[in-house]
Chains A and B, each alone.
Chain A
Amino acid sequence: MTGELTTTTPVARGVDAPAAAPGTPGGSGGRARGARRLPPSLVVGAVLVGLVAVVGLVSLVWTPYALDDTGTGERLAGPSAAHWGGTDRLGRDLLSQLMTGAGNALVVAAASMLVAGVLGVAVGVLAGATRRWVDVTLLSGVDLLIAFPTLLLAMLIVTVRGASLSSAIWAIGISGAAVIARVTRVNVARVLREDYVTAAHAAGTGWWGVVLRHVVPNVWPTLLVQLMLLGGGAVLAEASLSYLGLGAPPPNASWGRLLQEAQSTMLVQPWGAILPGLAIVVAVLGLNLLGDGIRERTDPNLRGDR
């Protein structure tokens, strides 16, 4: 609610008369919507996520040093003009590894959000919009998955498929899908109970029409928020998996593995642990803030001069 409501009358009111002066209440509402400032969390979140994304993209074509370049052999050095982030115990450039790690984190976050989104929404819509026994069956599966720790699931998948980037993505994506499915189901069921859906049916709108015209527009903002939060969780989960050696194997740089490698040398060269730690914080915080910002931005109750 912005300053537009602070009018001289104590309460902003609409005029309910056929001869109401046209354009007065809604005209200002329309302007206000266009000119409304973006929520700060949205801006900060987008900047942080954008930063990680740009760095990750740049790492695909350029890093200060090659990942396996042990250079002059100066090991465990602090930040210097040559190595802005210092070097690790083999003398490799830390900044280059961080940059590559950003790409890695982004790929995992995006891909697991995709897996969770597609699987979760499909299951959630089916459960929320179809017959009761389908709902009950799907829901018990989902509950089982939610009760199952991501880490255990990851170990299971790694045992079957071997440690790889895609194993990590599947593990995180499937765990996330369970959460998304629940959120989707609740929201779909809520929208389907609204009078406007009944009105749509009575107006001849078919099942698909209702889903596309009413359910999706009313549900996606909530889902997007959930997906963003999930993305933050995915970055963390990937770091944990890599830390435990269940993530992408060595040629891929991962923040989690950087942390794990820096663990034994933390007292000698703390930057090795601080920098990947910071990177994780930036990415997770950014995604969470982005989620919050989207929620604020898309709430229809904040739209117009209610």
Chain B
Amino acid sequence: MSALLEVQDLTVTTSTGRRILDGVSWSLDAGGRLGVVGESGSGKSMTALAVLGLLPDGMRATGRVLLDGEDLLALPPRRLARVRGGQVAMVFQEPLTALDPLMTVGRQITGPLRLHRGLRGAAAREEAARLARLVHLDDTERILGSYPWQLSGGQRQRVALAMALACEPRVLLADEPTTALDVTVQAEVLDLLDHLVDRTGVALVLVTHDLPVVARVARDLVVMRDGRVVEHTSVAAALAGGEAAYTRELVGAARAVTGLPGGGPAAGAAGVAAAAARRPAPEEETR
């Protein structure tokens, strides 16, 4: 059984020698759905950046990131750039920063189509419209002619997803894709992610601090803390009581905070108190 994307002993060091990631390993099968969960400072976002070769200046990555057996860390920047956006696409927390404010949505989607798939003119426009429908941007014509700032947060994230899928990537890396969105919009975007993975067979890496979000979309789970992988398991196993104490802590905290109480504040208070009693006071990062 060979994985599609495999991270082996990934370590990221700053220029001052501090280890941001320390021996991170996980793997993702074709069509798989992996959630990477951790609190701020756990290194979850850094993992995504390192996989894409997008580390901030002065940081160094060692270890291996194998895509179909080819080590991305060893690739020359030019080839890596072709993989990025081609075979591995990404979506970020704030779609507005990922979109060019001076270009219409349509042109932003056709850009990668031309670059990676050689589609031009009417063919590119048609494909852009197909992608827009794929991400449920139903008012397709109007949206393709709009500028990013004319769209709502949810629509922007859909556009970012359409762009990411434009090159028919094999892996979709989503870093907190719904954190900036309202709850109802978040629910829609999560459903969409779910649908896209089913429909296109793209393998998903969902990086987030939000365990319930992962539980909704992912099947496998990597729990990170302080730059290390605490546990690599299935979502179901983690929810049933993970092996690592920290995983259980996170699940407990998520249950205590986001679980809707049935009986109003009194029951809620009991829930919080019980959760607090179950776990030692967890440590927290400065964001």
A and B touch in the complex (CB under 8 A): yes
Q: Which of A7-15, A35-43, A183-191, A241-249 contacts B (4 or more CB under 8 A)?
A: A7-15
Q: Is the CB of B284 within 8 A of A13?
A: yes
Q: Is the CB of B281 within 8 A of A11?
A: no
How many A-B Cβ pairs are below 8 Å?
Answer: 44
Q: Is the CB of A10 within 8 A of B18?
A: yes
Q: Is the CB of A16 within 8 A of B283?
A: yes
Nearest neighbor of B41 in chain A, beta-carbon distance: A11
Beyond A16-B282, A306-B286, whether A11 also contacts B16 by CB under 8 A is: no
Q: Any chain B CB within 8 A of the CB of A17?
A: yes
- Interface residue range, chain A: 10 to 19
* B-contact bits for A7-35, CB 8 A (1 contact / 0 none): 00111011111110000000000000000
Beyond A18-B281, A19-B281, A306-B286, whether A13 also contacts B17 by CB under 8 A is: no
Q: Is the CB of B283 within 8 A of A10?
A: no
Q: Main secondary structure on chain A at its contact with chain B?
A: loop
Most buried by B among A6, A11, A306: A11
Nearest neighbor of A18 in chain B, beta-carbon distance: B281
Residue numbers in B under 8 Å from A14 (CB-CB): 283-286
Q: Is the CB of B20 within 8 A of A6?
A: no
Shortest CB distance A6–B (Å): 6
Kindly state the separation between the CA atoms of A1 and B18 in the bound complex, as whole angstroms. 11
Q: Is the CB of B20 within 8 A of A13?
A: no
Q: Any chain A CB within 8 A of the CB of B255?
A: no
Kindly state the separation between the CA atoms of A167 and B20 in the bound complex, as whole angstroms. 57
Nearest neighbor of A19 in chain B, beta-carbon distance: B281
Q: Is the CB of A9 within 8 A of B226?
A: yes
Q: What residues of chain A have their CB less than 8 Å away from a CB belonging to chain B? A: 1, 3, 5-6, 9-11, 13-19, 306
Task: List 9 tightest A-B contacts by C-beta distance, closest first.
Answer: A17-B281, A16-B284, A10-B227, A10-B19, A11-B41, A10-B226, A15-B283, A10-B22, A11-B226
Additional A-B contact list (12), CB under 8 Å, known A3-B16, A16-B282: A1-B16, A5-B16, A10-B19, A10-B228, A11-B41, A13-B41, A13-B285, A15-B283, A17-B281, A17-B283, A19-B281, A306-B286
